[in-house]
Chains A and B, each alone.
Chain A
């Protein structure tokens, strides 16, 4: 009962916060609500026994990415931004589609049958500590995806350089 209560609380708060993020007129307020959202997400990870991901969520998302967001917001012209509409004219259509997707998801989730349990039970992870197990899996079983991810990061760096390069002399 208690876990369900916890989950219900965080799920409700996360939903409310997400709605606040997209509906605020002032981008600074949106970013601040997002900060709160990231902390709630981190609690959700903690609740799922994934403390490493929870810490990463706080450090990377709340710490680094959000600061970047704030930098970008500071470059905007806030006065004009406050006058602009948050949504395009056809938002009711989007809302209907989103509601339809939600209804079909709720319907589908009801018949969800969980698959087999993996080798990494909660007891095992608690004994071996989460970070160690994660590292082991990442560098053995998932070595190949891990290497592809490193290439993706390289592309991100190259992209940043290309987009910031000086204009070519004609």
Chain B
């Protein structure tokens, strides 16, 4: 003691993708000063995330005394985040012009939010986890309120912000309790301390775990912590709704897997007992309330709540297999959900919102190609083979059955059957009703590319799921 602390430069190689992402995000942000064409900035941001994805492979390692972990798990989620950015930017280019919010900061904020998600997925320390979460959330709040002159967008940002702050308080409370109990914030060290000192079953530890579950449930919009989701999803710019429904949710699952399966694995019986009712409620409320929605963005918000419920089954299973199917499902969900949102955005034209379910009446007669794409995405969200949605659910349910939660899976299958009603209602409107009005669509090359990528993803993973599943399995240690 008393000797001045020697500073040793930490190994920065595992951080290469994050450092590159920070630099490129700042460049994209600054490029707004010199580049007047916003399409160029969009292209720059896609190239940036692609460059970041190329550095994933050589970045594996642990640094900053275990605070930052770059492993297969975090990098698999990294690929989901990169995909999320590429698809979101592609569907945004024309849309944010129509909404008259074509500002350069839009792309910078998307990149910063993704940086936050990458830090979350790689966090080996609760403090890093919290800061990554705040970086992601703060950028997303701003993006949700990006259409400033629209009251609904303001409301979305406000609700998302207030409830997000509320969730952060739970997370910090849980962190402080864990720190008090174990004297560390390192996720691996927490598990070691709990095992060494036999803290299993200690009510204070159970309370800390419950606080963590509440905070993560807010982020993945699980019932009863989902109240913000429908309003935030409806009011936010549609491209950002697509972004929010995939990125932050996947990041939420990434930290959930890390904290529950790494740090709190010794008390697995406790946390699975808390998660099972949450998962059942989430699937139930999400699917049943979605039945009565008339706005398609709201309907997809409830659908996204329900999908979080299915994905929770993989976490409840608590096995490497279960977590691999969650990762797999999040990747599939990125394709099918952004695909569906891309179709919604195409219906948005000057002076026409196109987000009511009745706007889809007779779409197969006026725009047959668009209707058939929507058909594929709706089938995939329902989970009908040969689409990817079916394979995703199949692996999730299998992992839960193998872990001995057959009764929960039976409930999940029942709710999944109920969900067919509201997804296929869109299909019914498109194919079995006559068009009441002439619906124009806004096409653009970037949008076609986004639709092509999502369609390819949904079909390819649906037909040949083995390679992706294998990738997810080897990624999880």
Are B135's CB and A148's CB within 8 A? yes
Q: Give A165 to B146 CA distance when docked, in angstroms.
A: 11
Residues of A13-52 whose CB lies within 8 A of B: none
Contacts of B199 in A (CB 8 A): 113
Selected contact of A159 from candidates B134, B138, B184, CB within 8 Å: B138
Are A155's CB and B142's CB within 8 A? yes
Most buried by B among A112, A117, A167: A112
Residues of B1-18 whose CB lies within 8 A of A: 1-2, 4-5, 7, 10
Contacts of B67 in A (CB 8 A): 144-145
Contacts of B1 in A (CB 8 A): 119, 124
Q: Give A71 to B58 CA distance when docked, in angstroms.
A: 51
Are A158's CB and B108's CB within 8 A? yes
Task: From A53-61, A72-80, A103-111, give the one contacting chain B.
Answer: A103-111
Selected contact of A151 from candidates B7, B115, B148, B183, CB within 8 Å: B115
- Minimum Cβ distance to chain B for residue A169 (Å): 9
Contacts of B437 in A (CB 8 A): none
Q: Is B319 an interface residue (CB 8 A)?
A: no
Total interface residues in chain B, CB < 8 Å: 51
Known interface pairs A127-B2, A142-B127, A168-B100; A108-B142 also in contact (CB < 8 Å):
no
Q: Give A110 to B203 CA distance when docked, in angstroms.
A: 9
Are A145's CB and B112's CB within 8 A? no
Interface membership of chain A positions 123-166, coded 1 if the CB is closer than 8 angstroms to chain B and 0 otherwise: 01001100000001001111111001101101110110111010
Q: Is A3 an interface residue (CB 8 A)?
A: no
Q: Is A89 an interface residue (CB 8 A)?
A: no
Contact-residue bracket for chain A: 35 or more
Are A144's CB and B128's CB within 8 A? yes
Selected contact of A144 from candidates B2, B29, B64, CB within 8 Å: B64
Q: Give A156 to B142 CA distance when docked, in angstroms.
A: 9
Contacts of A107 in B (CB 8 A): 203
Are B193's CB and A108's CB within 8 A? no
The closest CB in chain B to the CB of A107 belongs to B203
Q: Is A118 an interface residue (CB 8 A)?
A: yes
- Minimum Cβ distance to chain A for residue B343 (Å): 26
Residues of B141-164 whose CB lies within 8 A of A: 141-142, 145-146, 148-149
Are A162's CB and B181's CB within 8 A? no
Residues of B96-140 whose CB lies within 8 A of A: 100-103, 105, 108-109, 112, 115, 119, 125, 127-128, 131-132, 134-135, 138-139
Known interface pairs A117-B183, A148-B119; A109-B103 also in contact (CB < 8 Å):
no
Interface residues of B (CB under 8 A from A): 1-2, 4-5, 7, 10, 22, 29, 64-65, 67-68, 100-103, 105, 108-109, 112, 115, 119, 125, 127-128, 131-132, 134-135, 138-139, 141-142, 145-146, 148-149, 179-184, 193, 197, 199, 202-204, 206-207
Can you list 9 A-B contacts (CB < 8 A)?
Answer: A113-B199, A114-B180, A115-B184, A117-B183, A124-B1, A140-B7, A151-B22, A155-B139, A168-B103
